[in-house]
Amino acid sequence: MKGSAVGGWQDRLRIWFPDREFFMRSQGQVRFIKISSRLQLAAAAIGALMLLAWLGTMATVAITHYFSTRERLALLDREAQVASAESRVGAYRKGLDSVATDLAKRQDVIEKLVQAHVGDLPVDTQSGETVSDSRREAARTVNKVSTAVPEAAGLARVEARQLAFVEQLTRMADRRAARTAQAIRRLGLNPDAMLQTLSDRAAQGGPLIALATSASGQFDPRFQRLGLSLERMSELQRGLAGIPRFLPASLDFMSSGFGYRSDPFTGVGAFHAGLDFKGPYGAPIYAAARGVVSFAGVRQGYGNCIEIDHGNGLLTRYAHMSTFRASVGQAVSPGDAIGAIGNSGRSTGPHLHFEVRINGNPVNPRPFLEAIPHVLEEAAAPQTSR
């Protein structure tokens, strides 16, 4: 089949390009010129190739012209966009007063929300405070900007209000941190040591998401100071919240105190590391403060025992329990039932053995339980601005 197809094409080509003879007469002589079919085919092929080459050249010229025209049109379009952007800049420049008005209204809303939920912020500095007061310098800046760039005067005033607001927030955070630290000291604890313990025990990480207060990436030191003050205030308040404040059982049934006592089994002098609360078998035991259950099981001498980690190196222990009502990893709040009174471990009868430990060392829980309600009330009292 293939051979017959090739032979058919050859026959057609011979029909299209048969052998041809031409004769020429010159001075009584006749000359014959014969052009074979093969020569005609070669000439036709060369002509076809030349035609294809010409068509390719013309197509290339056309495509080049098209892209050149498109790039020129794109350039004209970009120039039009630049002209449009410049016109918009002019429009925004004329509308700076409107922008400043909007920013001022936003600042009003922010200040009113803070006043409603936080209270009046301190304005004037007081003895011992280290927060900057840029109100005078801001006023001079507003005057200079108003003179040099009148259309930006509104923005300068908003910036001055913003900086003053940041400084007021910083003073508020510092004063609340100082009140919280004083409350912690009244309970016999060192607030700075609590903060150091938290820093030493913290496990931190994550991607870096840098903060900036300007397009250049710089961070205004006043905003940085605000962040540090708010962080210290939050950590101290969290530390205070972790101090035992809720009676794990009734003080009216306290059967043994903290410190020296006669051992109930041997009768010899011994050190008692907590408080004992006598109660009926199965009576509920409550978490003394906010924290996370770090242990629930049996300890030698303690029997069934639950330990709650309150952060900052502070831990409470509840022993001789009959049942558990909390598990390891569970977050608890003051007053949450975590178990029931029992007689497990080294015990002479149903009671709760309650301990408070700071960095592993036992301390007397009674001052916390008796004093903290008054301390918390004073720490939460409204502060006055000077």
The candidate with the shortest Cα–Cα distance to 189, out of 9, 15, 363, is 363
CB atoms within 10 A of CB 2: 6
**340 and 232 in one domain?**
no
Measured CA to CA, the distance from residue 16 to residue 252 in angstroms comes to: 127
Q: Are 309 and 328 in contact (CB under 8 A)?
A: no
Contact (CB, 8 A) for 334 and 245: yes
If one counts every other C-beta atom within 10 angstroms of the C-beta of residue 378, the result is 12
Q: Which amino acid is at 157?
A: R
Same domain, 228 and 276: no
Same domain, 39 and 75: yes
Please choose, from the candidates 295, 333, 332, the residue with its C-alpha nearest in 3D space to the C-alpha of residue 317. 295
Structural domain includes residue 210? no
User: Taking Cα atoms as reference points, which of 276, 252, 253 lies closest to residue 264?
Assistant: 276
In a domain, 214, yes or no: no
Q: Look up residue 266 and give its two tokens.
A: 């041997």
**Residue 277 maps to a domain:** yes
Q: Of 72, 94, 116, which marks where a domain is finished?
A: 94
**Token pair 């510092």 is at which residue?**
174
- Quote the pLDDT of residue 208: 45
Same domain, 316 and 368: yes
How many residues comprise the chain?
386
Q: Is residue 386 part of a domain?
A: no
DSSP, res 150: G
Q: Give the chain's domain count.
A: 3
Residue range of the domain that includes 313: 251-379
User: pLDDT tens for residues 176-208?
Assistant: 888 888 888 877 777 887 777 655 555 555 554
Side-chain-side CA neighbours of residue 46 (13 Å): 5
- If asked whether residues 105 and 3 sit together in one domain, one would say no
Residue 208 lies in a domain: no
3-state SS, one letter per residue, for 107-119: HHHHHHHHHHHCC
Each residue's pLDDT tens digit, 263-317: 777 778 888 888 898 889 999 999 998 899 999 999 999 999 999 998 878 899 9
Q: Residue for token digits 């429009």?
A: 91
Q: Indicate if 105 and 227 belong to the same structural domain.
A: yes
CA 298 to CA 304: how far, in whole Å? 5
Q: Do 102 and 236 reside in the same domain of the chain?
A: yes
Q: What is the pLDDT of residue 287?
A: 93
pLDDT < 50 regions, the chain: 83, 88, 91, 208, 384-386
Cα 203 versus chain centre, distance: 16
Residues 118, 78 share a domain: no
CATH of the domain at 327: 2.70.70.10
- Residue at 206 is within a domain: no
Let me know: does 223 contact 162? Beta carbons within 8 Å: no
- Residue 303 has a pLDDT of 94
- What pLDDT sits at residue 355? 93
Q: Are residues 77 and 111 in the same domain?
A: no
Asked if residue 207 is part of any domain, the answer here is: no
Residue 71 within a domain: yes
Dihedral (Cα; 183, 187, 192, 198), 10-degree rounding: -100
| Cα–Cα dist 194/181, whole Å | 10
Report the distance separating Cα 163 and Cα 134, nearest Å: 8
Position 61 scores a pLDDT of 75
Looking at the fold, whether 263 and 366 belong to one and the same domain comes out as yes
Is residue 52 located within the same domain as residue 183?
no
Single residue among 94, 113, 133 that ends a domain in this structure: 94
The residue from 45, 67, 94 where one domain ends is: 94
Tokens of 127: 């003895």
- Whether residue 275 sits in one domain with residue 174: no
In angstroms, the Cα distances linking 159 to 55, 96, 131, 133, 178 are: 69, 14, 18, 14, 29
